[in-house]
Structure 1
Amino acid sequence: MAKLPDEPPTFRPSSAVPRAWRWRLQDASGEEVAITGELAGQSFSSQADAESWVGEFYTDLAEQGVDTVTLVEADRVVYGPMSLHP
């Protein structure tokens, strides 16, 4: 029986490291705010996920002293600061 070559992989793993999206949380003076609880240390796999999260939890963030948020991908500022107040 003839030996066939190994089947090549259909999908190759990405060599790029996924970039984490996160929010920089700031008070009214622009200083970073350290929040506690379940909201602390959140990072996201996409901009859409990050934006959905802040849309859902902006009142909780404001209650912990956050006045503005800045969206960051890895070390790049995407936009902000953006106010959490009307």
Structure 2
Amino acid sequence: MSFTWQYENSAGETVGTSEEFDQRGEAESWIGTAFEDLLEDGVEQVRLLEDGTEVYGPMSLRPE
């Protein structure tokens, strides 16, 4: 079982994916520290995937 983040631009197009994480909590902690760098790279939203199946998303990286 592995978790990855799918990166999307403002149009909802996939523009990349994260490294793989063994645990969901690790993936969620990582996105909490990486979101500012992702925004600078043009990523607007993400989806969490477990073995390629969507767990949740899209989730905006912009503060509410």
Which secondary structure state, in structure 2, belongs to the residue aligned with residue 28 of structure 1? coil
Over 3 Å counting, the alpha-carbon distance change for 1:68 and 1:75 in structure 2 is same
Q: Does 1:27 align with 2:9?
A: yes
- CA distance in 2 between counterparts of 1:64 and 1:42 reads 16
TM-score of the aligned structures, taking structure 2 as reference length: 0.91
Q: TM-score, normalised by structure 1?
A: 0.69
Q: Give the gaps of 5 or more residues in structure 1.
A: 1-18, 35-39
Alignment of 1:7-86 (within 5 A): 19-34=1-16, 41-86=18-63
Structure 2, unaligned stretches of length 5 or more?
none
Identify the structure with bigger relative contact order (alpha carbons < 8 Å, sequence gap 6+).
Answer: 2
Aligned residue type for 2:11: S
Identical counterparts, % of pairs: 41
Secondary structure class of the residue paired with 1:61: helix
RMSD: 1.2
Runs of 4+ aligned structure 1 residues displaced above 2 Å come to none
Secondary structure of 1:33 counterpart: strand
| Greater fraction strand | 2
Q: How many pairs are equivalent?
A: 63
Give the structure with higher Rg (CA).
1
